[in-house]
Each structure stands twice: as structure tokens, then as C-alpha cells.
Structure 1
Amino acid sequence: MVHGSAAGAARPRAGLAELDEKTLVVRAQEGDVRAFEALALRHQATLYRVAVRVLGDPTDAEDALQEALLDAWRRINRFRGDSAFSTWMYRVVTNRCLDMLRRRRPAVPMDEVGDLPEPAPAPGRSPERTAELDAGMAALRAALQALPDELRLCWVLRELEGLGYTEISEITGAGETAVRGRIHRARTRLAAAMRPWR
């Protein structure tokens, strides 16, 4: 991630933070590193969250984001504005995540599968019910990790990030029909894996 030093050397100038995204992109394409840093700062939290959810490991997610930001800086001139800059960045990050998944298969610790929302503790919930919910969330994490990468990626972008089918299609490079099919298959597999927990 883009980290600032105590002296603020990595922080964009105050005026850059107020610029609109198109202006920052043009300035970054002209070689303005600070403009690119401002873009990265705007999107890094969301991109990191996606990387954690896809990779299941915070350290790997940070590595993937760092590499993706370097890739994006090197390729900023290839961004043509056909889609939103955020969509382009999602694509860069998810491609980096998929590359990492292909290289590291199969070992992923099950307790690090991602930050699925935890159920809020209900007042007066019994320890047995709490244990049952914890076991159910662990089963969901395991089922999600067991999905093929392309299915998990589409499911995460749709169900956890709330993106539309068209945007997921732009990010993954798959047609919208393929995206819908992947999400359907992911939902079906997850529902089957979670049947014992209903």
C-alpha cells in the first residue's frame, strides 16, 4: 500500500486530493507521480479488501496490492477511460491476485480465508449458539476457499463488494453471461456446502 513517512514525503500535495479523478489520471499519464499517489490513496482500501477476500491472506493481499499499484503506474498510459479508473484498478488487482493463486496452490490457512462479515453477537445468545455460528462461518470460509478462483472472484465482487454484472465483466474480461454463470455456480456450490448448517 502507499504509506506516508513521518515527514509526509509519500503524501500527495493537499491540492491533488481535491482534484477529480479524470484530471488526476491525465496528470499521472503525463508522469506526475503525486497524482498517481492521490489516485492510489483513493482506492487502496477497497482494492486491499478485495485482495484479502480473494487471496484469503492479509500479507499476500498487501503484496498483491503493492505489485498491482506498480503495474498500474507502469501501464497508466494504457488506461483509455473506456471504463471508470476504479474498474481498471480492480482488474489490475484481481489479475495480480489470480496470478498469485495460480503460483501458490493449494495451501491456504482456513482461518485466513478472508474477512467475511462476522455475525453480530446477539444479547443473551447462548455459548452453544455462538459456537454453532462460529463453526458455520468457518465452514463458509472453507467452502469459499474451495471454489475455483474464477468463481470465487466473481462471487466476491458481486456478493461482498456489491458490483454489477457489467462491471464484473469489465474487471474479469469475461462476458456478462459467463459472469452470471460463474456467480450462479458459486452460489450453488456454496449453498450445497452450507446445507448441513441450515
Structure 2
Amino acid sequence: MDDAALGDSSDQDLLSAHVAGHPHAFGELVRRHRDRLWAVALRTLGDREEAADAVQDALVSAFRAAHTFRGQSAVTTWLHRITVNACLDRARKAASRRTSPVDDTERLEQLLEPHESAEAPAERQDLHRELLTALAKLPVEQRAALVLVDMQGYPVAEAAAVLGVPTGTVKSRCARGRARLLPMLAHLRGATRDNSGLGRGRNRTPGASVPPAAEPRDPGPNDPAGVKGGGGRA
């Protein structure tokens, strides 16, 4: 496969090309999916730096484990599963040293989507802040399920594949998470539904900001560190 054909190749073909030694196939795969992986990580962890590190961990893992992919799910599902697992690992490790992942104005401003932070009405920003504050109080497993199903719009079956749990577990986690959110957000029920932040369909904000690349470390052509900070398709 030559470089000119990368953009027209399927995800699975790109992964196969990477396994076969193509130096740029994995980078193209990252460019396609990094924004969505970043959005999931940021909403799950509630911390910009932690989310960036989790995505980087996930990409390195995917880079190294590409040969284990058997095509039993979509490549994007496989990538999301690795990313969510990286987020859950980081959240569990951080639990003992962090009492509230979203507890200050600066952190909340970071979590707002760029277009909302700069231009959205104050009411929408306030609703988003309150939603994120409440979401951060949920157990991380419930939070991850709600992020995938209610914020990213994944079908329950696909969210279950990403999380590596039965569909019934996803439904249970979502139900428990919503039940815990309800009293925290009850005062918002009179607000416009469009401002609630939940149930907006998959990739509600495809332009989610991705942190800039780290300083180059002179990676080789196949070094996954070279993909950190990649954004959407060039």
C-alpha cells in the first residue's frame, strides 16, 4: 500500500498494513479516531492532562498489540475499548489522591468544548458545568457507561463491546448512574433539553480540542510516541 492510498483505506486495512510494516498506516488510523478517543477520555476522567496521558497510553498499547486484532469487532470499537481501559486504570490509581476530579472553575472551563467556552450563551455553559460536576461524582464505571451511551451516543451493545462487559451490565450502570444524577440535576429539569448535555447522539462535538503535540523525541518511523497530540485528518 502506498501513502497515497492510505486515506481511502478501511480501518482494518490500515491496521493490517501497520502490522505488515507500513510506516505511516498507524498514523492515519490515529488521525481518523483520535478526536473521538480524546472526547471519551476527557469526559471519563474529567482532567485534561490525565485524559491526554490515557489516550497516549492507549495508542501505544494499540500500536504494540495490533497483531492481536482478530476482526471480531470494528477497529474503532477495539480502539475505544483500549482507551476506556486506560482511563479506568488511571481513574482507579488516582482515586486515593483526588477527592473530586472536577471541582474548580478552571478545570470546568477546560472541559467545555472550545466553541461553547468562547461563544455559547452563559446559560448553556452553566448547564454544562453542572452536568460535568455531577458526572464527576459517579463511580468511574458508571461514568464511563454514561459517557459512551448518553454523551457519545453508542448503542448499548457497542458500548458493552467497548467496555468488555455484558449488555445487561451497561444497562445497569447507566440506570444507576442516571438515578444518582437525577437528584443532583433535578433543579435543571425546567431548562431546555438541548442544553442538558446527555442523549445528544454519537460524537455530539466532533471538534473536541486535542492537546498540542509534545516536543519531538526523534522517534523512528514506527515509534508510537510520534502520534501523541495528533488531531483530525490532515
TM-score > 0.5, shorter chain as reference:
yes
CA shift, 1:186, in A, is 1.0
C-alpha distance in structure 1 between counterparts of 2:161 and 2:21, whole Å: 26
1:149 pairs with 2:140: yes
The 3-state SS of whatever aligns with 2:72 is coil
Residue 191 (structure 1) aligned to one of 145, 159, 182: 182
CA shift, 1:136, in A, is 4.3
Q: C-alpha deviations, 1:28-66, integer Å up to 9, x for none?
A: 122323111111111011101111111112222111111
C-alpha distance in structure 2 between counterparts of 1:151 and 1:190, whole Å: 11
Count of paired positions: 178
CA shift, 1:120, in A, is 4.4
| 2:135–2:181 contact (8 Å) kept in structure 1 | yes
Structure number with the bigger relative contact order (C-alpha 8 A, sep ≥ 6) is 2
1:99 pairs with 2:84: no
| 1:47–1:65 contact (8 Å) kept in structure 2 | yes
CA RMSD between the two structures: 2.2
Tell me what 2:19 maps to. Answer: 29
Percent identity, aligned pairs only, is: 33
C-alpha distance in structure 2 between counterparts of 1:151 and 1:33, whole Å: 38
Tell me what 2:151 maps to. Answer: 160
Gaps of 5+ in 2: 190-234
C-alpha distance in structure 2 between counterparts of 1:140 and 1:28, whole Å: 40
Identify the structure with the greater helix proportion. Answer: 1
Residue 20 (structure 1) aligned to one of 10, 33, 40: 10
CA shift, 1:102, in A, is 0.8
Q: C-alpha deviations, 1:40-95, integer Å up to 9, x for none?
A: 11101110111111111222211111111000011001111100000000000000
Gaps of 5+ in 1: 1-11, 122-129
Structure ID, larger Rg: 1
CA shift, 1:149, in A, is 0.5
| 2:6–2:28 contact (8 Å) kept in structure 1 | yes
4+ residue runs over 6 A deviation: none
| 1:53–1:115 contact (8 Å) kept in structure 2 | no
TM-score, normalised to structure 1's length?
0.81
Which amino acid in 2 is paired with 1:59?
E
Q: In the superposition, relative to structure 1, how do residues 173 and 30 fare at CA in structure 2: closer, same or farther (>3 Å)?
A: same
Tell me what 2:222 maps to. Answer: none
C-alpha distance in structure 2 between counterparts of 1:120 and 1:37, whole Å: 33
Q: In the superposition, relative to structure 1, how do residues 109 and 179 fare at CA in structure 2: closer, same or farther (>3 Å)?
A: closer
1:168-187 → structure 2 map (5 Å cutoff) = 168-187=159-178
Q: In the superposition, relative to structure 1, how do residues 177 and 37 fare at CA in structure 2: closer, same or farther (>3 Å)?
A: same
C-alpha distance in structure 1 between counterparts of 2:128 and 2:34, whole Å: 26
1:87 pairs with 2:114: no
Residue 44 (structure 1) aligned to one of 34, 43, 47: 34
Q: C-alpha deviations, 1:164-189, integer Å up to 9, x for none?
A: 01111101111001101111111111
C-alpha distance in structure 1 between counterparts of 2:83 and 2:71, whole Å: 17
